[in-house]
Amino acid sequence: MNSVTGPEQDTAALRRRVQGRLTASLIATHVLGALVVVGLAALLMPSPGMSADLVRVTAVAVPVYVVSAVVAGTLWGTRGALRTLRWAAEGRRPTDAERAASLRVPLRLTCVQAVLWGIATLLFGGLAALFQPEVMLTELLVVAFAAVVVCAIAYLFGEFTLRPYAALALAGTTPPRPLHGGVNLRMLLFWCLGTGVPVAGLVVTAVLAWVRGDVSTTKLAVSVIVLGLVVLCFGLLVTVFTARSVVNPITSVQDALNRVRAGDFTVEIPVYDGTELGLLQAGFNGMAAGLAERERLRDLFGRHVGHEVALEAMRTSSELGGTVRTVSVLFVDLTGSTALAASRPPEEVVELLNRFFAVVVDEVGRHHGLVNKFVGDAALAVFGAPAPLRDHATCALAAGRAIARRLAAEVPDGPAGIGVATGDAVAGNVGDPRRFEYTVIGDPVNEAARLTELAKTAPGRLLASWTAVEASAAAEAARWTATDDVTLRGRTRPTTLATPRG
């Protein structure tokens, strides 16, 4: 679960599952602790062992204590933990105080176990002092060792069981600082529980045997072997849990990185660790969100100015000015747009413009050009800038023919004039450092615009300058024929017009 807004039944199911696991772990740890007490007592008790009275009392006290501890632990620990996590059952985000308290629940459950087993240590030590004082120290050490085992397992199991709630608590946030001392303290704690305390138990066993002097070599060897096996098994268990607590968050980040590398910027991993590992998970989510926002802006920027312009802007510095390039320009403008806007509802006009521009954008892109700008109901396309294009005249003329053909077939209610010209123009950023745009300025732009005006009344509604035809490839030039020489408005020299053959 990655959010607290899921269905109620999911939250209720999670609560039941967690409560069941916590209760099962409570029972299992107490039973395990009792078995450790019985096993170590049989190994470490001095000769001739426990008295009959102490054995009878212990046989009654152990099951009574286990049952009482389970009931007390369930009422005190498990229910208390679920009360702390009530915000999840209510389907809301926790406050900062509730979040901090929720992340401390595994530690709180461990403290509950410590208190219960502290009472057990005093209880069984007191029984030993009452019925057989010479074994009191051994009894205290045995129960204390079992208490350490139980507390370690309780903390590890509680942390893993409550990870769904930790993920809910930390969803959409970044832990302000590592909780409970971070990974360093966690690793030190695990070393103490998995290695330090068990080895200390071995040392204490040897010291007791040495002080008493009544332990045979065989019994001492058996005791050390059994305790060594306990240390190995318990240390392995703690090490496995330690490795999982460290590796799992790192693995989640690694898997998410692979998804980002594949282009999925929507990935988000649950943050369920309050240490530096949680900061790593939250940091990744922040990075992925930033990359997604950057990709969205880049896509939006590309839609506004053209992907070629966007790529060029990212490759070069965004400075005002431009360079002179030989380019081909295609200009297309709707015919009678003023009357069209006056005679139709705005929604129909917008729908018509969208169909019209869709054809223009599609064919210009198909022929490697750039739709540089939309001006009302007109569009200006450039071939050869910002990315160089060797056959820009060929591409522009072919695009003009394709647009004329498709507009006649697909947008018959939106006739348009199309003009194509070739020449030198300045291509670059124009405006102010605070707001500028990429554009082309020069004679071919003006010539294409004037050709478009003439094309609105010409057969086929498409005109090109003969200069553009001469600059195109032979196969494309063969599709055009020269017609008249016309001096276009605003120009001093005549332009030879060209129209498609047929």
How does DSSP assign 401-429, residue by residue?
A: HHHHHHHHHH-TTS-EEEEEEEEEEEEEE
CB 80 within 8 A of CB 104: no
Question: What pLDDT, in 10s, does the model give residues 114-124?
Answer: 888 888 888 88
Assigned token pair, 56: 């009878």
The residue among 171, 191, 216 that closes a domain is 171
At 305 the pLDDT is 46
pTM: 0.49
Q: Is the dihedral of CA 77, 80, 84, 86 positive or negative?
A: positive
Q: Collapsing DSSP states into helix, strand and coil, what is residue 93?
A: coil
Q: Give the burial string for 123-143 (b: 16+ CB within 10 Å, else e).
A: ebbebbeebbeebbbbbbbbb
At 5 the pLDDT is 38
Which residue ranges in the chain fall short of pLDDT 50? 1-9, 301, 304-305
At 400 the pLDDT is 95
Is position 432 within any domain?
yes
The residue among 137, 171, 205 that closes a domain is 171
Q: Give the burial string for 469-482 (b: 16+ CB within 10 Å, else e).
A: bebbeeebbeebee
Which residues form the domain of 119? 1-171
At 465 the pLDDT is 95
Is position 178 within any domain?
no
Q: Output DSSP code: residue 461.
A: G
- Closest Cα to residue 368, out of 335, 334, 327, 404? 327
Is position 252 within any domain?
no
Is position 251 within any domain?
no
Is position 209 within any domain?
no
261: Cβ contacts below 8 Å, ≥ 6 apart: none
At 1 the pLDDT is 38
| Structural domain count of the chain | 2
CA atoms within 13 A on the CB side of 458: 21
Using CA atoms, how far apart are residues 456 and 333, in angstroms rounded to an integer?
8
Is position 234 within any domain?
no
Is position 284 within any domain?
no
Is position 190 within any domain?
no
CATH number, position 364:
3.30.70.1230
CB 328 within 8 A of CB 465: no
CB 476 within 8 A of CB 394: yes
Q: What is the helix (H) or strand (E) element at residue 42, kind and residue range? A: helix 8-44
At 330 the pLDDT is 96
The residue among 136, 171, 206 that closes a domain is 171
